[in-house]
Amino acid sequence: MALEKLDVYWPILILMAFGVLAVVGALVVSKIISPQKPTELKRQAYECGEDPVGDAWALFNMRFYVIGLIFIIFDVESALMFPVVSVFKKMNEIGRGGLVLVEIVIFLFVLIAGVAYCWRKGDLDWVRSFQTPDKEKES
Amino acid sequence: MFGNILFLVSALFSVLGAVGVVATKNIMHACVYLLMSLIGVAGLYLTLGADFVAATQLVVYVGGVVILMVFAVMLTGGADSQKSNRFGIKKTPMMGSIGTYIAGGISAILASYIVIFRLLPKVFEAQPVNSTMAFDKTVEKIGMLLVSDHVLAFEISSVLLLGALVGAAVIARPKRN
Amino acid sequence: MNETIVTYFAKFEWYKSLVKALTEMLGFNAEPLMVFLFFFLAAFIVVNVMAVTAGLATYAERKISADLQLRMGPNRVGPYGLIQFLADGVKFIMKEGIIPKSADKFLFTLAPILCLAGVLGSLTVVPYSSGFILSDLDIGLFFLIGISSLVGLGIFLGGYASNSKWAMLGGMRAAAQIISYEIPVVISGLSCVLLAGGLSFTTLIEAQTGFPQGWFVFHNPFTFIGFFVFFIGGLAETNRAPFDLPEAESELVSGYHTEYSGMRFAFFALAEYIEVFVVSGVAVALFLGGYNVPFGLGGDGILGQFLQLGAFFSKTLALYYVVIWFRWTLPRLRVDHLMTLCWKYLTPIAIFNLIGTGFWLYGFEGKSLFELLFKSGAAAAGGGH
């Protein structure tokens, strides 16, 4: 027996450490051999040649958040689907595939109902057919 | 050997990340420290042999919840270090009233009592990690249980997700004039 | 279960004798040390091969684009300009790394680290051949999805930390796009998991054969569509054209890396090019037969391993070519079209495919379309691996 049970996770740790060390190491080397002459103009944020106005950390639209929420729900759904789907073939071989298939289909149909609802109500549209406030239109 | 290294690295990540979350004033940095802590927790799951749970932690929390949090931060216009007292940190250095301190103190005493006298002895009794874990495919075990014994929980969880989906959509919907 | 590159080498006699010699020399059990050293060496080789592949990919990208536009492309550095990427690398290191004064310096440096760590972490489970896979985790595909989600966060943080309006817009778009397209990709991958009956890449690949008719893409009509859904979604996950909205040159200057220069930018580019390789490799492993060689040529020996490497790399690089080809052929999508494509086309199609594949597996007992059409061909398809 060559490996202990947890040894299979070595590469994850090593590769991610490589990822960190490569960036840090290259930055250190670059710091040593590259010129370092920062000037005020160089260090300005790029705004097509104008002086930057204010900073970029502005309020963003709500729909990014909605997309994030819908994504998490699908993410959890896929996390639940993975184990069930991976045993489907074996269950099919011992003759219980129909039952599992029905379970998967029910699970997915409940979610499809949710997607259909969101679709019908326009929550999946990036550009809404009705805009909220008059303030946005004025500005 | 690797079990110990993985445990140390992940424990360090999760503890340092958690400390960073509460210590930093910049809310975006707090999100990143939270990410670090969550990755550490995923590593801790790996040391316990729960590989599927670890991957779920990565997919749902690192890939989903942290992104959602940074989106939520962007709804408030991001973290501006000049305005960090927007959360009341600089204005009230003590951060609380007598009531919160009493509640906090009592819960701290309770928690430390439970940890020191109830949990710690069990930790030292516990078996070393490597010797107890049967490393069969955890995914398939979970799958078998989900389609046989816990099928009701599996199906009801889809209804829960449906509720969350519809709720999120309704709350975020702009109001008609 | 949980095959790794070390268990592959541990089958050989020289590995055992090496362990024995080391144990005698050091005076303690050298097995864990050897395991670490082999993993380290293998990971080091993989990372370097990937870095060179990514470098050559930047060269290929310029050459192919030049071909498509009737230009010459880079041809000064080395024969046919082949070592252009090394010259670029040297130049990246020599460049001054500028951090804008309004930027968040901590996150500005952390963003490329997250990108690169996420991409390199996903190389753990990419199956190069049946022996040369760094670690064939039981949760392979799911782990890959989880670890590569670090990339999206890295890109967002890069855009956020720059504190430049172009970068911020690019970062927000990137995050929204990457998380949206993860859904169709994951669900299309699920239909392959359904057919193979396991999450690990070895299981997924061994369920296919070395012949095209045994590949999952030709298994049934649903997986045929699923492959294209997966590939389109994967393209969007890597922010490649026609989905390069986060770095749309004509509207956002350079998107999330507008403020990046020098090595920090180089690592963003490196991460992107490696990620394209990973996505192509996973598409090959899931749908195009992975490392399988027709007739099982070469057997189980070292020759067979290299043939498998050749099969995997040739398919992956062919897909890589398609990705580059797309970039110089198709125009960019609009943001609302992008979201419509994901949520109203790809996701419903992917869910439909998953259910359809389930019914196919139940109805035809896992037989592929080819086996059903040509009963006599079934034997040949079965003997493929």
- The pLDDT value recorded for residue C382 is 54
Alpha carbons A65 and A61: distance in angstroms, whole number: 8
Which contacts qualify for C378-382: CB closer than 8 Å, 24 or more apart? C380/C211, C381/C209, C381/C211, C381/C213, C381/C214, C382/C209
Window 121-160 of C, Cβ < 8 Å to A: 121, 123-124, 134-137, 141-142, 147, 160
Q: Is C348 on the interface with A (CB under 8 A)?
A: yes
Is residue A126 a contact partner of residue C342, using CB atoms and an 8 Å limit? no
Alpha carbons C293 and C182: distance in angstroms, whole number: 30
Three-class DSSP category at A89: helix
- The pLDDT value recorded for residue A4 is 64
Residue C41 — pLDDT band, cuts 50, 70, 90?
A: confident
Residue-wise pLDDT tens digits, C169-226? 888 888 888 888 988 999 998 888 888 888 888 888 888 877 777 788 888 888 889 8
How many beta-carbon contacts under 8 Å exist across A and B? 163
Distance from the Cα of B175 to chain A's closest Cα (Å) equals: 6
User: Do the chains contact at A86 and B2, CB–CB below 8 Å?
Assistant: no
Residue C352 has pLDDT above 70, yes or no: yes
C299: left (phi over 0), alpha (psi -120 to 50) or beta: left
Residue C232 has pLDDT above 70, yes or no: yes
- The pLDDT value recorded for residue B122 is 63
CA angle, corner C189, sides to C58 and C333, nearest 5? 50
Is residue A7 a contact partner of residue C42, using CB atoms and an 8 Å limit? no
Indicate the residue of A6, A60, A80 with minimum beta-carbon distance to B75: A60
Residue C73 — pLDDT band, cuts 50, 70, 90?
A: confident
Q: Which residues of chain A have pLDDT under 70?
A: 1-5, 56, 127-139
Can you say how many angstroms the Cα of residue C7 is from the centroid of all Cα atoms in its chain? 24
List of chain C residues whose C-beta atoms are within 8 Å of the C-beta of residue B70: 153, 156-157, 160, 175
DSSP secondary structure letter of residue C99: -
Rounded to the nearest 5°, which phi and psi values hold at C258? Answer: -55, -40
Residue C275 has pLDDT above 60, yes or no: yes
pTM of the model: 0.85
**H/E stretch holding A115:** helix A97-120
Q: Using alpha carbons, list the distances in angstroms from residue B109 to B15, B97, B99, B102, C265.
A: 20, 18, 16, 11, 50
Q: Which residue has the higher pLDDT, C237 or C130?
A: C237
177 residues of chain B, pLDDT tens digit each: 677 788 888 889 999 999 888 888 778 888 889 999 999 998 888 888 788 888 888 888 888 888 888 888 887 765 554 554 444 444 445 566 777 888 889 999 998 888 887 776 665 555 454 444 444 677 777 888 777 778 888 888 888 888 888 888 787 776 655
- The pLDDT value recorded for residue A136 is 46
Burial environment of residue C298 by CB neighbours within 10 A (0 to 12, 13 to 18, 19 or more): middle
Question: Which residues make beta-bridge pairs with C135?
Answer: C4
Residue of B173, B175, B177 to mutate, interface with A, max A Cβ within 10 Å: B173
List of chain B residues whose C-beta atoms are within 8 Å of the C-beta of residue C142: 52, 55-56, 59, 139
Helices A62-93 and B151-172, axial angle in degrees (round to 10): 160
List of chain A residues whose C-beta atoms are within 8 Å of the C-beta of residue C198: 86
Q: Using alpha carbons, list the distances in angstroms from residue C360 to A97, C355, C374.
A: 11, 9, 17
List of chain A residues whose C-beta atoms are within 8 Å of the C-beta of residue B142: 83
Alpha carbons C166 and B42: distance in angstroms, whole number: 34
Residue-wise pLDDT tens digits, C142-172? 888 888 888 888 888 888 888 888 888 888 8
- The pLDDT value recorded for residue B106 is 92
C159 token code pair: 């855009």
